[in-house]
Amino acid sequence: MGKKGKKLHLSGPAIILIVLVVVSSLFINSFIRIGNINNILRQASMLSLVAMGQCIVILLAGIDLSQGSVMGLTGVSTALILSKGVPLVPGIILGLAIAMFCGLINGYLISYVKIPQFVATFGMFGMALGVALVISDSRVIWGFPETVRVIHDGEILGISAPFVIVGIIYLIMFWLLKFTRFGTSIYAIGGNATAAELSGMPVKRNVMLSYGISGLLAGAAGIMLMARMNSARAIMGTGYEFEAIAAVILGGTNRLGGKGGAVETITGVLILAVVRNALNLIGVSVYLQMVAVGFVLIVVYIINQNKGSNPLRKWFPVKNKGLVSGTTGNGNGR
């Protein structure tokens, strides 16, 4: 609940983002131009959506490895639906429904059948990708009505459509996580699932719904990517889930810290986007960029950890933790 008070604490990741932006602006000429900034933000819009879904799942101490495949499946399905003449809005809704369905299956397997998250979502990763490849015959789908491109290229009141869409979704997610019982239960389940269950929370149902949301958002990202590229392929989303996980961690979401949510996730997404963009402008190869991202990920994770042995702690001080809670059994042992 840190951000809601009167004092605004800048989190570690926020500081890192600011530093990155400032450094890039100073040292790279083309960075600070409006066109470039626009580019960065537009490119980040897909990842923003996927990362938000992943964030909720990570808060539950889970993981969703299927988001990329769901993206592809949704993109391909929606493209096919639209090219069959279905109007835009119903077409999109159908696509999103497919995405949410995949997510709910994940959630059901994890919550009720008690399959570990890794196994369930990994299975879905394969299944969704497989189905996408089958229905698209491994081809690129194009030729659907151009109207869908408005999602990516359009403007609402002068602001790029993707920003508006991402903005609205993030506001909803912020409200959901911080102002509803559902959201509080997410933090509770991630913090101590047993205690949450004993407090009468519908743990199974909420976990299932969370995976549904993760799938839904992955699907939305898939449709947005489809609009951006004006085409769809089964593999178009592959790899997004890992970027999403990186973004969530970079942003400082930590279920053990009860920290995390919309604000943290967008911060992480932007850090990744800025780093990528800056390296691109400098001319660093894509492969070296991967090294950079991995490096940043580890460094930021260490900064975010509230451990005493953290050497960077003096720049990012955290309140001293008191004694560990009495959840470790009978006080003095046997």
Partner 1 sequence: MEKNVILELENITKIYPGVVALDSVNFQLREGEVHVLSGENGAGKSTLIKILSGAEQPDYGSIIYQGKKRSFKYAYEAQRAGIATIYQEFNLIPELSIAQNIYLGREPKKLLGTFIDWKKVEKQAQALFDMLGVKIDVKTKVVNLPVSKQQMVEIAKALSLDSKVIIFDEPTSTLTDDDIVKLFEIIKRLREKKIGIIYISHRLEELFEIGDRVTVLRDGKKTGHHNIKDIDMSKIITEMVGRKIDKQFARDLQKPGKEVLKVEGFTSKGVFSNINFSVREREIVGFSGLVGSGRTEVMRAVFGIDKFDSGSLHFYGNKVEKSDPLKSVKLKLAFIPEDRKSEGTCLNLNIRDNIILASMASIFKSGIINLHEEKKLVTQAIKDLDIKTPSMQQKVKFLSGGNQQKVVLAKWLLTKSKIFIFDEPTRGIDVGAKAEFHKLINLLVKEGAGVIMISSEMPEVIGMSDRIFVMKEGTIVQEFSREEASQEKILKAAIG
Does position 184 interact with partner 1 (CB under 8 A)? The reply is yes
Does position 171 interact with partner 1 (CB under 8 A)? The reply is no
Does position 283 interact with partner 1 (CB under 8 A)? The reply is no
In the bound state with partner 1, the residue whose beta carbon lies nearer, of 30 and 199, is: 199
What's the rounded Cα separation, in Å, for the pair 69 and 222?
9
What's the rounded Cα separation, in Å, for the pair 284 and 330?
56
Does position 174 interact with partner 1 (CB under 8 A)? The reply is no
Among 201, 217, 244, 300, binds partner 1 (CB under 8 A): 201
What's the rounded Cα separation, in Å, for the pair 203 and 209?
10
Task: Go through the chain and tell me how many residues it has.
Answer: 334
Does position 55 interact with partner 1 (CB under 8 A)? The reply is no
Phi first, then psi: give them for residue 76, nearest 5 degrees: -65, -45
Does position 331 interact with partner 1 (CB under 8 A)? The reply is yes
Stretch that binds partner 1, among 48-56, 90-98, 174-182, 238-246 (CB under 8 A): 174-182
Q: How far is the CB of 11 from partner 1 (least distance, A)?
A: 15
If binding means CB under 8 A, how many residues of this protein chain bind partner 1?
A: 39
Contact criterion met (CB below 8 Å) for 53 and 64: yes
What's the rounded Cα separation, in Å, for the pair 37 and 312?
30
What's the rounded Cα separation, in Å, for the pair 269 and 245?
10
Phi first, then psi: give them for residue 254, nearest 5 degrees: -150, 110
Does position 334 interact with partner 1 (CB under 8 A)? The reply is yes
Does position 199 interact with partner 1 (CB under 8 A)? The reply is yes
Paired tokens of 208: 């299932």
Q: Which residues bind partner 1 (CB under 8 A)?
A: 1, 4, 175, 178-181, 184-185, 187-188, 191-192, 194-196, 198-201, 256-259, 319-327, 329-334
